[in-house]
Amino acid sequence: MERVEQHACFGGSQEVWSHRSRTLDCEMKFAVYLPPQARQGRRPVLYWLSGLTCNEHNFIVKAGAQRYAAEHGVILVAPDTSPRGADVADDADWDLGQGAGFYLNATQAPWSKHYRMYDYAAEELPALIEAEFPASDRRAISGHSMGGHGALTIALKNPGRYRSVSAFSPIVAPSQVPWGKKAFAAYLGEDRNAWREWDAAALIARAQERLPLLIEQGEADEFLTTQLWPELLRAACEAVGHPIDLRMRLGYDHSYYFIASFIGEHVAYHAAALAD
């Protein structure tokens, strides 16, 4: 690994690291915020998954989460959103290819060679964080938009691994909306049964634990009625008695202004779940 950035921040250290990912077969970057409490021992970790077009910098620059992570003694980890590199498959559109990994394991060429963001985010990255940083195995996960989709599906597919999960403006039913249909057809092929393995609304019915879902959604979100459809996730949860707290926020859109407004509440929520 190589540290490529380090900045003092709220008594802790905001860092960006580069490493060779064996899962993705390319160089990857991730951001890690170490709160001041990490100097005294291992701390729990909140993983943040960003959305379409983003990388490891969007969350750490725009959300203002470090202040709250320092207050609660929580490590923040924010990976890139896809594999990167000249030999990594890409697309001219912004919603497919590099910057749009969708946190799944691709099965179709040319994507399957590198696009295994599920394995990276759920397995390789946490193992690396817990081996190389003062991080415990107490984990929480959150994300925004495409990253909210990733946070929900990763938590639902890995019972017992995370203490808590939340999402801002998540794509809750990607197999039913344009962004998801385009990406899933490319990465997974045309078998729609395979798509359901990466769809939070579909996974709820067979979830093996009842980990509560905290969903933050702006009512003025420009993608609310075309790409996000949070009511589908609420209906799926109500059908099987899965706990969900869907918070509809008047006037808020899809931007990081929205995330910055409520990230403190989410960090506090996860910190409570991560406490010994």
Domain of residue 224, CATH code: 3.40.50.1820
| Average per-residue pLDDT for the chain | 98
Q: Give me the DSSP letters along 25-84.
A: TEEEEEEEEE-GGGGTS-EEEEEEE--TT--TTHHHHHS--HHHHHHHT-EEEEE-SS--
Supply the pTM of this predicted model. Answer: 0.97
pLDDT for the residue numbered 106: 98
Q: Report the phi/psi class of residue 64: left, alpha or beta, with left for phi > 0 and alpha for psi in -120 to 50.
A: left
State residue 107's pLDDT score: 98
Cα–Cα nearest to 244, from 224, 217, 226: 217
CA dihedral 162, 130, 106, 204 (to 10 degrees): 0
CB-CB contact of 200 with 233 (8 Å): yes
For residue 17, pLDDT beyond 90: yes
**Residues whose CB falls within 8 Å of the CB of residue 226, separated by 6 or more in sequence, listed in order:** 177, 178
* pLDDT reported for residue 250: 98
User: 276: pLDDT confidence band, cut at 50, 70 and 90?
Assistant: confident
CB 89 within 8 A of CB 111: yes
Question: What confidence tens digit (pLDDT) does each residue in 248-267 have?
Answer: 999 999 999 999 999 999 99
Which pLDDT band, with edges at 50, 70 and 90, does 19 fall under? very high
Residue-wise pLDDT tens digits, 187-241: 999 999 999 999 999 999 999 999 999 999 999 999 999 999 999 999 999 999 9
Q: Which of 45, 47, 111 is nearest to 83 (CA)?
A: 111
Each residue of 65-122: pLDDT tens digit? 999 999 999 999 999 999 999 999 999 999 999 999 999 999 999 999 999 999 999 9
Which domain, by its residues, includes 160? 2-274
Domains identified in the chain, total number: 1
Torsion sign (Cα): 29, 188, 215, 226 = positive
At 203, the amino acid letter reads: L
pLDDT given at position 111: 98
Q: What is the mean pLDDT of residues 43-70?
A: 98
- Residue 152: other Cβ atoms inside 10 A: 30
Residue 175: CB atoms within 10 A of its CB come to 20
Kindly list the catalytic residues. 145, 221, 254
Average pLDDT over residues 166-190: 98
- Give the pLDDT confidence score for residue 254 in this predicted structure: 98
pLDDT of residue 150: 98
Question: How many CA atoms lie less than 13 Å away from 40 in the CB half-sphere?
Answer: 5
